[in-house]
Structure 1
């Protein structure tokens, strides 16, 4: 299957669905040819998205469905390894990890959050 190489903005959720340090909105993407889970969160009034895989070992990070923030609401935490990541950058701050989370570009306008495709990131086609 040939992918559209032009970047696309794909509607993900309403802006109000993302609450500061609250539940994530999950979505599926194709990353480097492999279907992966991803998530969007809001932190300090801005939306961010990442692949749902720890950089230490590529396992899903949420400790309960769509819960990624630690008890303080300031760090994204891997439930399996305890690695902690900055919600603004995805960079690892502490724990076992290699680098950081894989970021997914988001934009927010007219009350809707959109994620953006790229050369290694495509929508899942059913």
Structure 2
């Protein structure tokens, strides 16, 4: 007799974040609230080299929000995501530490997609919408 198979885990539906036009190349990020491991947190999405990327707003060095001012994550040369607290820098397209006190780590990626003039994000097992 065959063993019953577990149902395939369906990918969650993407949730709308913002209009594509709100993300200017190397400009301010769109910041949004999430629950990370059931704790309130913030995440951000920005456009860099024509791509949209999103990360949990939490530095690897010290788990604190990184933006200089609300939505401002890039360094003055607009080359890296830079933590405003201790200067850890991250590669915008990968989230990998590029220098400073973040070691060999990587920012927590939030999966995003852009289609039909809208930016969406995919909740994950660890990162869920902040609203019910």
Measure how far apart 1:8 and its partner are. 2.4
Structure 2 CA distance, aligned partners of 1:49 and 1:81? 21
Structure 2 CA distance, aligned partners of 1:102 and 1:90? 7
The corresponding residue for 1:88 is 93
The corresponding residue for 2:39 is 34
RMSD: 1.2
- The alignment's TM-score, normalised by the length of structure 1, stands at 0.93
- The alignment's TM-score, normalised by the length of structure 2, stands at 0.88
Structure 2 residue runs without a partner (length 5+): 1-9
Measure how far apart 1:7 and its partner are. 1.6
Structure 1 or 2: more strand by fraction? 1
Moved segments of 4+, more than 6 Å: none
Larger Rg computed on CA atoms: 2
Aligned match for 2:113, one of 90, 107, 115: 107
Structure 1 residue runs without a partner (length 5+): none
Aligned match for 2:18, one of 13, 18, 22: 13
